[in-house]
Amino acid sequence: MTKRGQFVLVHDSEQRENEVDLVIGAQFVEPRHVATMRKDAGGLVCVSLHSRIARNFGLPYMTEVYEVASARFGVLRGVVPNDLPYDERSAFSLTVNHRRTRTGITDSDRALTIRELARLGAAAINGSAMEDFCKNFRSPGHVPLLPAAPNLVLERQGHTELSVALGEMAGIIPVMVICEMLDARTHTALSLDDARRYARVRGLPCVSGEEIISAYRRMKGGLGV
């Protein structure tokens, strides 16, 4: 489904965030997809990138920016995310808008930013693209970027790595869009049962992190974490 430009629902695990994200390849995103994510999912619409793409764009983790800037801005030393209950670190990097956007927040603006990240990402797989990245994007913006761990799910099993692994296995540009599914009734994450019901009604797959990890290990020849 990812290869055909449709959504896939991905549940990480009960031991981690225990959340379901809507996932789609960035190269396929149109304004209607952004509208679906904000209306049906409701979480933060983020773009996860293969580590080679992130590296060739020159992207830092935001915690690395904090570390450098904390010498001048002491508050950054105090807000370091060193107490995450489900992970060792945060995957957040810069937030961006494409330079052709206006405010950057509309469905059309975000779709443009996301598609252009995929377009440049296809070239950035194989070489430095920081100059092109800077020519095309401004920061801060409305699309958060999430660089994946170098060994993807063999190293870290967050939605960032799960989605990029899914894209890699599908043979598409490994730049993916993820958005947490939330529940307006309980004001918490959407339950796995409700997510499966949503997927079933719309004819979409709902897969577990474990399934993605197992498939990725098989593709890589049985490597362990």
Comparing 128 with 174, which gets the higher pLDDT? 174
Question: Across all residues in the chain, what is the average pLDDT?
Answer: 94
Q: Of residues 11, 12, 46, 161, which has the active-site annotation?
A: 46
Q: Is there a contact between 10 and 166 (Cβ–Cβ < 8 Å)? A: yes
pLDDT tens, 30-61?
999 999 999 999 999 999 999 999 999 999 99
Contact by Cβ (8 Å): 164, 49: yes
CATH number at residue 137: 3.90.870.10
DSSP 182: E
The backbone torsions φ and ψ at residue 194, rounded to the nearest 5 degrees and listed phi first, read -70, -35
Indicate which residue of 12, 17, 19, 21 is catalytic: 21
What pLDDT sits at residue 221? 82
Q: Which domain holds residue 156?
A: 2-59+94-219
Given 12, 109, 116, 180, which residue is catalytic?
180
- Which position among 64, 86, 87, 183 bears the catalytic label? 86
Residue 142 catalytic? yes
Band (3; pLDDT cuts 50, 70, 90) = low
Does the annotation mark 21 as catalytic? yes
Active site residue 97: yes
| Catalytically annotated residue among 18, 132, 136, 142 | 142
pLDDT in tens, 95-108: 999 999 999 999 99
Which residues make beta-bridge pairs with 124? Answer: none
198 inside domain: yes
Over 60: is that where the pLDDT of 209 sits?
Answer: yes
The answer to whether residue 210 is catalytic is no
Indicate if 198 belongs to the active site. no
Please tell me the distance from the alpha carbon of residue 115 to that of residue 34, in angstroms, as a whole number: 11
Active site annotation includes 66:
no
CB 159 within 8 A of CB 208: no
The CA distance from 31 to 39, in Å, is 12
Q: Is residue 207 part of a domain?
A: yes
Indicate the number of domains in the chain. 1
